Every structure is written in C-alpha cells, then in structure tokens.
Structure 1
Amino acid sequence: MTNPKTTPRQLRVADLSAAREHAFDLRLTAPETEAMRDALDLLDLRKPRLAGTLRPVGKSDWQLDAQIGATVVQPCVATLEPVTTRIDSDLRRLFTKQYDDPGEEEVEMPEDDSVEPLGTEIDLLAILTEALSLALPLYPRADGAEDVTIQVTEPGKKAMTDEDARPFASLAALKDKLGTPES
C-alpha cells in the first residue's frame, strides 16, 4: 500500500497505469481535518480516512472500492450535548467516460448512484467528504435524551398541538360540538 503521507488528494487519470490496480490510503493533515470538520458542521472530527483501490475497468473507466472511517462528534438534537459516533463503511464508485449527464434542472435519480463522470482527476478528498457527509447520523441523540416538545405561538394565543394538526381533528371536534351520532 502507498505511504499515507504520500497519497495525493487528487489522482490524475493520465498518470494511472491501465494495466494494474492502484492502492491508496488517504489520511488527512490537521488543517485538512479542521477544514472538513467545519465544512460538515461537526463539533469534532478525528481520524478521517479513505483507504482502498482504484482499478481499471474496460478501456477507459475506473472503479474505486474503499472504506471510509472517522470518529465524529455532533450536537444531540434534543439536548445539544456532544454525541460521539464511529463511522466505518464501504464505498464503491465507477468513474466512466460514458456518463450521461441529463443537463436538465429536474431529473430522476438513476438506479445506480455510484456512477460518476470521469474527468481528468479523481478527487479522493472530495470523495471522502461526500461519503462522510452521507454517513453522518441525521438525528444524533445523547444517551438518556428524552423527546422534547416545543410549542411556539404568538403571545396571548393557544399553541397548536400535534392533535390539532391531524387532518380530521377539526371534524371530530365539530361532530362532538354538534352532538351528531355516529353512523
């Protein structure tokens, strides 16, 4: 495997040998880790890593198989206490010259979301950032954090409850008010 200190952040496709697999082990410097932490809006980020191989597929395509790893600290959605999560997941991307870019503002998601257009470089740092952002817990919760109900309204008015928001709540209230018997 390549020495982590010498793994480039971007791999030039023209420099890759189409006759063999290329191993990489991307570990970030302290400034890169800090920048990624800020970009992902994390409280802390430790040991971000992207390690794997890039192998030729066909005449001009490249397949990336890798593992991402990191320890992230996010605020709890209920208490804002720090929540630490270890992320370890597999990643696969196929970089192809035959990528069909629809060029429209609204498009349907393709069935295979691992296919990417092949440019002149493969940006390992961007791949790690994207994969890590997708792997983050959406609603991190601290141990023992209870659900919090927040009711906000104008002064002097009654706050709307979940029961009020139900589609037939007002009809049920009207029926009760009118005393209409059930059918």
Structure 2
Amino acid sequence: MTSPDLHPDRHPQRLRVAHLNPNSATPFHLRPDDQVCAAIATELGIDALSRLDFRGQVRAQGTDGWLLTGDLAARVTQPCVVTLKPVRTHVTDKVRIQFSPHVTAPEGDEVEMPDETLEPLGNFIDLTAIMIEALSLALPEYPRAEGASLQTTAPEAEATDTRRPFAGLDKLLGGRSDES
C-alpha cells in the first residue's frame, strides 16, 4: 500500500521531463511509508530507517537543462563499528543536481563522473533513486555508540622518535657506538 505522500497521481516519484513547466518550479515531497523505508534500509545495509523525508523542487536551467534542489532528512540505525550496538543518527543533507542533455552516462563498472552534481538528462528524473543515493552518501561511514573508542597503540610505539629511525641500532649491534 502506498502512503498518501507517495501517491503517484498527486506526488509522482518520477518526473517526465517533457511534462515539466520551464517557466515555473515543480515542487516535490517524498515521505516513504514504513514498508518502503524497511526495503530501503535493507538495500543500503543499515539496521533501520525510521524516517525519511525528501523535499525540494526541479526548475529549468538555461535553455535545455534542469536543476534539482532539495533537502533530505532521515533517522537511521546502524551498528557501532566498535561494539556493534545500535547507533541512531539524524541525517540531513542538501541535494543539488544539474541535469543536462550534453552529458553522457559513464560506461563500465566503476567510472566516476567528473562532476558529482552533473547528471545526464533522460526522459525522466527519478526522485526515488536520487533520494536513495543522497541518503547512501550522507550516512555516517563509521558510526560509534556513545563512549565507544578504538584501543590505542602500545605506549612504546607512541614514544618512537621518527626523526631518528636508527637510534636504537647500536643496542642491537652489541653496544657498538660511533661516539666512542
């Protein structure tokens, strides 16, 4: 069942470029229901996604391009990288993407676009795909539970003087020293 905010007749999740008005902005607001949030959480490999909200607008840019600007807000639960305890985080991010018919999609498995905010313009602007990608980029890479910390290195290793890497070599060579 689709939530009222994602009903395709009132708030489409994919905008047909040919139907966009070049003279005024087209607003959008996506707020997936619990079932869709659970599917997105599974896709992104996070424990839970209790809230997801993506709103903004698409407006003409120049004579043949489009600009999407929006705000993403989410509540996510991820495992702590140290203790594996659940870490709840409020994620917010500004999204800005320029769509241009003069940009071609990269080919290959891991080809990077020269500009992350510039995308090729097709027949549709897929708001759901943009929302999921923006969320995946905004997630904390190393979430930590409160008070969790990684064990530091041994004290001897910290005291090593890196300016004199051979300082203790004379002790290893049987007490010989150049100073005698």
Q: Shorter-chain-normalised TM-score: which range?
A: 0.7 to 0.9
- For residues 135-173 of structure 1, the C-alpha deviation after alignment (integer angstroms, 9 at most, x for no partner) is 111111111113247xxxxxxxxxxxx95xx9x8x9666
CA contact (8 A) 1:4 1:24 kept: no
User: Cα 1:142–1:180, aligned 2, differ >3 Å: closer, same or farther?
Assistant: farther
Aligned to 1:4: 5
1:31 aligned residue: 35
In the alignment, structure 2 segments of 5+ residues that lack a partner are none
Aligned twin of 1:144: 147
Q: Quick check: 1:40 aligned with 2:44?
A: yes
Alignment partner of 1:120 out of 98, 119, 123: 123
Matched ranges for 1:50-129 at <5 A: 50-101=54-105, 103=107, 110=114, 112-129=115-132
User: How far apart are the structure 1 equivalents of 2:133 and 2:70?
Assistant: 13
Q: What is the TM-score with the length of structure 2 in the denominator?
A: 0.79
2:171 to 169, 172, 176: 176
Could you list the per-position Cα deviations for residues 102-158 of structure 1 after superposition, in whole angstroms to 9, with x for gaps in the alignment? 657776762x32000011111111111111111111111111113247xxxxxxxxx
Tell me the C-alpha RMSD between the 2 structures: 3.2
Give SS of 1:35's match. Answer: helix
Does the CA-based 8 Å contact 1:44-1:72 persist in structure 2? yes
- CA drift of 1:19 comes to 2.0
SS of residue matched to 2:81: coil
In 1, are the aligned partners of 2:74 and 2:91 still within 8 Å (CA)? Answer: yes
Query: Which residue identity does 2:5 align to in structure 1?
Result: P
Structure 1's 24 and 182: CA in aligned 2 closer, same or farther, altered over 3 A?
A: farther
Unaligned runs of 5+ residues in structure 1 are 150-161
Paired letter, 1:181 = S
Shift of 1:181: 3.4
Once the two structures are TM-superposed, the CA of residue 30 in structure 1 deviates from its matched residue by: 2.4
Q: TM-score when scaled to structure 1?
A: 0.78
How far apart in 1 are the matches of 2:109 and 2:30? 34
Identity rate of aligned residues, in percent? 40
Number of aligned pairs?
169
